[in-house]
Amino acid sequence: MSTALSVNLNKIAVLRNSRGGAEPDVVRAGIACLAAGAHGLTVHPRPDARHIRAGDVYALAALCRGRGVEFNIEGNPFAPPRPGYPGLLALCTTTRPTQVTLVPDGDGQLTSDHGFDFGRDGAALQPLVAAFKALGARVSVFVDVGDPEVGQAAACGADRVELYTGPFAEAHAAGDARAALQAAADTARRAQAAGLAVNAGHDLSQANLGDFLRAVPEVREVSIGHALVGEALYAGLDATVRAYRRIVDAAA
């Protein structure tokens, strides 16, 4: 089984927004990533519009639809609409993404750093998952590695879980990721036993991705943005995406 590479374009939008105007262009970046072999594109529009904005979501959805590739929208399903942010369900109703990844992040978070608590959030997630699935989207939910209740994502109606790989990346950078890899593999197997497919994301990079995919069974998709865009500053976007494709293809 091969793993799909979805490139997260948030950091392109961060750079654009830091200066104002339209450069760098997130759509042009998306075209470059797809031309280099990315299987799809990911965005995570937040209510404060700190990076990807609603207009970007519409434009990138049209790009992916025209190219026949996957479009993945991440977001907090509990976050209410506000000026400039119509809400996750409204964005998905308009754009009909291939996948919606539900993430429990708040406005004050610098980045997504934990999964759902199914004991607390499970009942509230069920009707929201159903609403996204009614749009024809595959639904994935963000989960912590080591969560003994990961199988409850299936009871919520989700199709997949996305393993939060931040702690693995930290352990890998420190020189010993064996325990983190074992925990990720065990969590993936628990999810799969419940009928869920497994995605992964957060702080995955060229340095650690191959090790992760070799250790964790049947990862369907990795979503990578921060490290990829950082590496592309040195090597270029085309070369960097191609390097990631070689890693996921080698792990198949």
Task: Calculate the alpha carbon distances from 151 to 141, 144, 148, 230 in Å.
Answer: 11, 12, 8, 34
What are the residue numbers of the active site? 44, 74, 202
Q: What is the CA radius of gyration of the chain?
A: 17
Which CATH fold would you assign to the domain 4-250? TIM Barrel (3.20.20)
Q: What is the pLDDT along the chain (252 residues), one digit of tens a residue?
A: 799 999 999 999 999 999 999 999 999 999 999 999 999 999 999 999 889 999 999 999 999 999 999 999 999 999 999 999 999 999 999 999 999 999 997 666 556 667 899 999 999 999 999 999 999 999 999 999 999 999 999 999 999 999 999 999 999 999 999 999 999 999 999 999 999 999 999 999 999 999 999 999 999 999 999 999 999 999 999 999 999 999 999 998
Alpha helices (H) in the chain, listed in sequence order:
10-19, 26-35, 54-67, 88-95, 118-134, 152-155, 166-174, 178-193, 209-215, 226-235, 237-250
Contact 187, 194 (CB under 8 A): no
Domain regions of the chain by residue span: 4-250
Token pair belonging to 80: 């209410």
Closest of 100, 35, 34, 114 to residue 72, by C-alpha: 100
Interatomic CA distance for residues 205 and 45, integer angstroms: 22
Q: How large is the angle between the packed helices 26-35 and 10-19, nearest 10 degrees?
A: 150
At residue 6, the 3 state secondary structure works out as strand
Contact yes or no for 132/149 (Cβ under 8 A): no
- Residue 33's CB is within 10 A of a number of other CB atoms, namely 28
